[in-house]
Amino acid sequence: MKRGLTYKEAGVDISEGERLVRSIKGYARDTHREGVITGVGGFGALFDASFKRCSHPVLVSATDGVGTKLKVAFMADRHDTIGIDLVAMSVNDIVTSGAEPLFFLDYFATGKLDKRKAGRVIRGVAKGCKEAGCSLIGGETAEMPGIYRSGEYDLAGFAVGVVDKARIIDGSSIKAGDILVGIASNGLHSNGYSLARRVFFERMGLNIDSPVKGLRGRIGNELLKPTRIYVRPVLSLLNDYEIKGIVHVTGGGFAENIPRVIPGRCKAVIQSGAWPVLPVFKIIRDEGPITDDEMFRTFNCGIGMILIVSRADSAPIIKRLVELNEKPYLIGEVAVRGKGERAVEIL
């Protein structure tokens, strides 16, 4: 009789997957918060939905990936921070509704599973969850031979949060005269990497370890800075101040994300010199070359999150953010939008 063909010989090593799950259970346990009933390892993760602090709890969900930032991680063979990016992209979206992130699930897919590499990614996910105050409650690891290039993988993240219905932030109360307070980013975060890679690695001819004039260290270090997680400072503000709208500045930059929040009768007038633009954005703009309009509709340009607040609250909110070790800037205000005018005007 012919020896039986095995799943491992077809390219899928179930034992390696089991070893990965065992290795990450401890990291997942470190993220557990009130409400977690079961976590990693079962068919489904359970969370107690007794939200005692909410009179009318509303669940808020978000899903995202990290885009072609993964290509930079592959080039550098660095996988310890990309999981933080994955968490940040979803929990920052959730907090824009005023919601507190509760739990997170990840999806990791690769052609051939490498437990050590996957483990580094998941440890980053756990670190991001701890920073956001949510639990890594489950996930999926998929080994799919023939789908991905050797050594590469893909990621997706899924987060769920909760907010009391009476405290949902939906932008409906925004009016002319309100102030836009920007909170600094630390770089590209997880958007615009297809354009950034084109500039750095094709136009400028750099490699991942190249130093770049104007930047500290190598280009790989700059491009792999993990996305800022803004959950804790925003939730702190919500305890004491009315925030009328929150914008997570992701793909689409200022031009596409601000209109998702402000009413159609209003426009945001941004003062482009009101905050320091990080050197990485200046290099991309100059070396592209890329127009200012394209920069503001592709990148965060140094502002990762925008809070829309009343003029009276703007000063104390900025003061609180400074106390929380954030870098806030008064970047513009809301005005009446005339017929035919854009929703975002950058001066």
DSSP 4-17: PP-TTTTT--HHHH
List phi, psi (to 5°) of 73: -60, -40
* Eight-state DSSP code of residue 258: G
CATH match for 179-346 among 3.90.650.10, 3.30.70.20, 3.40.190.10, 3.40.1190.10: 3.90.650.10
Q: Do domains 14-167 and 179-346 have the same CATH topology?
A: no
How far is CA 104 from each of CA 16, 86, 157, 161, 332, rounded to the nearest angstrom?
23, 10, 7, 9, 34
51 vs 47: CA distance, rounded Å: 11
* 56 class by beta-carbon count within 10 Å (0-12 exposed, 13-18 middle, 19+ buried): exposed
Domain boundaries, the chain: 14-167, 179-346
122 vs 297: CA distance, rounded Å: 31
In this predicted structure, what is the pLDDT of residue 139?
A: 83
In this predicted structure, what is the pLDDT of residue 324?
A: 94
One-letter amino acid for residue 202 of the chain: E
282 vs 301: CA distance, rounded Å: 9
Beta strands in the chain (DSSP E): 57-64, 100-110, 135-143, 153-164, 179-184, 245-248, 266-270, 303-309, 328-336, 344-346
In this predicted structure, what is the pLDDT of residue 52?
A: 82
In this predicted structure, what is the pLDDT of residue 1?
A: 54
Check: CB of residue 104 under 8 Å from CB of residue 158.
Answer: yes
Q: According to the CATH classification, is domain 14-167 in 3.30.1330.10?
A: yes
In this predicted structure, what is the pLDDT of residue 115?
A: 81
Check: CB of residue 177 under 8 Å from CB of residue 311.
Answer: yes
Of 123, 69, 64, nearest to 92 (Cα)?
64
In this predicted structure, what is the pLDDT of residue 143?
A: 84
Of 104, 126, 117, nearest to 28 (Cα)?
126
The number of beta carbons lying within 10 Å of the beta carbon of residue 341 is 11
Helix (H, G, I), strand (E, B) or coil at 334: strand
Strand-pair partners of 179: 309, 333
In this predicted structure, what is the pLDDT of residue 15?
A: 66
* Eight-state DSSP code of residue 200: I
In this predicted structure, what is the pLDDT of residue 246?
A: 96
* Eight-state DSSP code of residue 203: I
How far is CA 154 from each of CA 23, 86, 95, 142, 291, rounded to the nearest angstrom?
20, 11, 25, 10, 31
229 vs 153: CA distance, rounded Å: 23
Percent of the chain with pLDDT over 70: 91
Check: CB of residue 164 under 8 Å from CB of residue 57.
Answer: yes
This prediction's pTM: 0.90
Check: CB of residue 342 under 8 Å from CB of residue 267.
Answer: yes
* Eight-state DSSP code of residue 80: S
140 vs 179: CA distance, rounded Å: 42
Instruction: List, for residues 277-305, the tens digit of each pLDDT value.
Output: 899 999 999 998 999 989 898 999 999 99
Of 51, 53, 46, 47, nearest to 35 (Cα)?
47
Where the chain has pLDDT below 50, the residues are none
In this predicted structure, what is the pLDDT of residue 36?
A: 81
301 vs 298: CA distance, rounded Å: 9
